[in-house]
């Protein structure tokens, strides 16, 4: 049913899908969703407070357990910093308690966004988008002003930014080789990247160079600037997810909850300051603009459509110049455009492909000229494949068969097996991506869904997979896939992988790790137990 004002109505179905009524699902009209009752608001307020407490514990514990620079640790000058930096085990346990509180608050908040993780009736009320935005701010602000978390990669970004500013070629050698062993930035670069050329494109390096120039290679200012950039890109992701969810008939609040409020987004894109924030921000905004352009062309507003499609292509080309996986979006928006071109099938596809290629080439030329960074990133891909990640399906199979061969005394042929398994994985991912492109053109699947499915398969068969790589697929799919099975799978993966990486981004002695997890579980259970008793006495729990 549609309101008198012509605004779309969304009604969740029992199976977790939604019914959309209204004149145009692609328009950005506000959805008329049921509001929370007073008792529900009280419960939600507690959940937001619980997640904020978790973020505070994570931010404070990060002063001792975070990814600190090797030399001249500036965080020791913070109030209490000198003490907490000497309490690695306690600080790490504190971080995991904070992570646990954020995860629990996120999980229990699901019904307030119209989400059903299993068959059943959705919650009676749905949060407003402004309440979700304020929740995101509350859960990220303590992390934004804290130390880097879960990875040492930020120091690689800082060093490569300095390399570009000094007019050196970041694709010719590693930070240690170019900056020298006495350079403070280079000495903090993780060992795996110390002698490796940069794996990132000119957009990521150009942003790092700008930050290096503005901050004069200050560690604290550089980390803070990179984190602000990541936060801004996560805001772009949030905007795009809302628009794409409305376009796909998914409750926007549910999509934002699953994708943007996801602990992996908060912990690794904001806390870890990974370049995926820039990649996904540019990619998803580019997809939305491209689909808007296709809508304009379909309505014979060709002039507006062309400009939107060109802007879309430029943004997704820039995403690919962070990491090459960003280029994937060009194909799916291209097929969406081809569908609305009133020409024979092959002509329409040819025109769309030619337009995307033209925009891509011009974008590379413009970015190369503006940043002054060469094209070494084109031939320099694949350096990260030296890492053996057990989250990678093809790598896990290759290493396992290599180990079996050694046990059978056949010799160590792991590298040769990895070459085969990874090559097969790339072929499978490529084959499915072609199928998704054709399905998009034929209208059998939304471009958003096709992009999400393709990136999911790509991540599964990628040679190297880190926990946050799943966000390449989770974020677009959160705006399209609304079945309980999908959401439950994302929740399980995100919950488990939130505890997978130590806050310092480095391994510790197994005995120490066990002590940390045991202490974290005890502290976490204590906080939840006390909270339950207080809420029970105040009547927040048990209200009808």
pTM: 0.85
Helix extents (H) in 109-201:
129-144, 153-165, 175-179, 184-187, 191-194
> Alpha carbon of 342 to those of 302, 351, 379: distances in Å?
12, 11, 38
What pLDDT, on the 0 to 100 scale, is given for residue 544? 44
DSSP state, 4? Answer: T
Going 120 to 123 to 129 to 132, the CA torsion angle's sign is negative
**In this structure, are residues 505 and 67 in contact, taking their beta carbons and an 8 Å threshold?**
yes
Does residue 404 belong to any structural domain of this protein? yes
For position 227, what pLDDT does the model report?
94
Residue 338 CA to residue 355 CA, distance in Å, equals 10
CA dist., res. 272 & res. 290, Å (int): 30
Domain-embedded: residue 425? yes
Position of tokens 């299993």?
118
Q: What is the pLDDT of residue 361?
A: 94
Name every residue whose Cβ is closer than 8 Å to that of residue 284 and which is 6 or more positions away in sequence.
Answer: 236, 237, 240, 241, 244, 475, 476
The number of folded domains in the chain is 1
Q: Output phi, psi for 462, to 5 deg.
A: -70, 145
Asked whether residue 122 is assigned to any structural domain, the reply reads no
Enclosing H/E stretch for 9? strand 9-12
Give yes or no for a contact between 449 and 481, defined as CB atoms under 8 angstroms apart.
yes
Give pLDDT, residue 30.
Answer: 44
According to the model, what pLDDT value does residue 336 have? 92
453 found inside a domain: yes
The reply to whether 398 falls in a domain is yes
272/282 Cα distance (integer angstroms)? 18
Structure confidence at residue 136 (pLDDT): 95
Q: Is residue 188 part of a domain?
A: no
User: Quick check: 46 and 512 in contact, CB under 8 A?
Assistant: no
Q: What are phi and psi of 381, to 5 degrees?
A: -75, 155
**Enclosing domain of residue 400:** 392-463
Q: Are 520 and 102 in contact (CB under 8 A)?
A: no
Residue 542 pLDDT: 55
Determine the Cα–Cα distance for residues 537 and 466; give it in Å rounded to an integer: 43
Q: How far apart are CA 162 and CA 178, in angstroms?
A: 10
> Which residues does the chain have with pLDDT short of 50?
1-31, 85, 120-123, 543-544
539/274 Cα distance (integer angstroms): 42
User: How many angstroms separate the Cα of 488 from the Cα of each of 115, 213, 326?
Assistant: 10, 44, 26
Residue 113, domain member (yes or no): no
pLDDT in tens, 274-316: 999 999 999 999 999 999 999 998 887 878 889 999 999 999 9
What single DSSP character describes residue 121?
Answer: P
- Paired residues of 276 in beta bridges: none
Residue 396 falls within a domain, yes or no? yes
Helices 447-460 & 328-340 angle (0-180, nearest 10) = 150
Over residues 331-390, the pLDDT tens digits come to: 999 999 999 888 888 998 999 999 999 999 999 999 999 988 887 777 665 555 556 666
């Amino acid at each position: 049913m549609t309101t008198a004002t012509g605004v779309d109505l969304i009604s969740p179905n029992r199976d977790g899908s939604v019914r959309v009524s209204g004149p145009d699902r692609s328009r950005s009209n506000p959805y008329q969703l049921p509001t929370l009752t007073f008792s529900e608001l009280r419960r939600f307020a507690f959940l937001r407070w619980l997640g904020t407490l978790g973020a505070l514990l994570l931010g404070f514990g990060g002063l001792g357990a975070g990814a600190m620079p090797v030399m001249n640790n500036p965080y020791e000058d913070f109030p209490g910093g000198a003490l907490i930096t000497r309490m690695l085990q306690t600080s790490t346990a504190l971080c995991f308690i904070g992570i646990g509180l954020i995860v629990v608050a996120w999980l229990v908040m699901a019904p307030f966004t119209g989400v059903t993780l299993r068959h059943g009736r959705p919650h009676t009320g749905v949060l407003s988008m402004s309440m979700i935005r304020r929740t995101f701010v509350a859960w990220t602000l303590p992390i934004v002003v804290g130390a880097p978390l879960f990875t040492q990669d930020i120091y690689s970004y800082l060093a490569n930014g300095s390399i570009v500013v000094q007019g050196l070629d970041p694709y010719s050698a590693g930070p240690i080789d170019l900056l020298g062993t006495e350079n403070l930035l280079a000495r903090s670069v993780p060992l795996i990247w110390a002698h490796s050329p940069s794996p990132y494109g000119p957009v990521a390096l150009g942003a790092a160079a700008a930050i290096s120039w503005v901050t004069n290679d200050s560690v604290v200012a550089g980390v803070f600037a990179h984190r602000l950039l990541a936060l801004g890109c996560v805001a772009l992701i949030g905007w795009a997810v809302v628009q794409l969810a409305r376009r796909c008939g998914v409750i926007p609040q549910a999509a934002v909850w699953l994708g943007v409020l996801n602990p992996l987004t908060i912990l690794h894109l904001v806390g870890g300051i990974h370049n995926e924030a820039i990649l996904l921000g540019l990619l998803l905004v580019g997809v939305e603009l491209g689909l808007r352009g296709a809508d304009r062309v379909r309505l014979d507003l060709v002039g507006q459509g062309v400009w939107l499609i060109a802007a879309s292509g430029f943004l997704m080309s820039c995403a690919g110049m962070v990491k090459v996986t960003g280029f994937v979006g060009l194909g799916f928006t291209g097929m969406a455009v081809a569908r609305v071109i009133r020409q024979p099938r092959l002509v329409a596809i040819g025109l769309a492909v030619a337009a995307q290629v033209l925009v891509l080439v011009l974008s590379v030329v413009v970015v190369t000229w503006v940043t002054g960074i060469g094209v070494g990133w084109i031939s320099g891909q694949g350096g990260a494949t030296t890492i053996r990640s057990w989250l990678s399906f093809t790598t896990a199979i290759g290493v396992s068969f290599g180990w079996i061969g050694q046990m059978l005394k056949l010799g160590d042929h792991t590298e040769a097996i990895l070459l085969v398994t990874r090559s097969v994985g790339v072929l499978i991912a490529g084959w499915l991506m072609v199928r998704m492109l054709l399905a998009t053109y034929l209208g059998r699947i939304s471009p958003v869904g096709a992009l999400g499915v393709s990136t999911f398969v790509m991540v599964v068969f990628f040679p190297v997979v880190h926990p946050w790589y799943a966000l390449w697929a989770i974020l677009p799919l959160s705006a399209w896939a609304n079945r309980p099975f999908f959401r439950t799978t994302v929740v399980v993966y995100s919950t488990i992988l939130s505890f997978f990486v130590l806050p310092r981004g480095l391994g510790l002695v197994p005995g120490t790790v066990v002590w940390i997890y045991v202490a974290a579980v005890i502290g976490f259970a204590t906080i939840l137990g006390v909270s339950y008793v207080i809420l029970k006495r105040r009547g927040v729990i048990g209200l009808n």
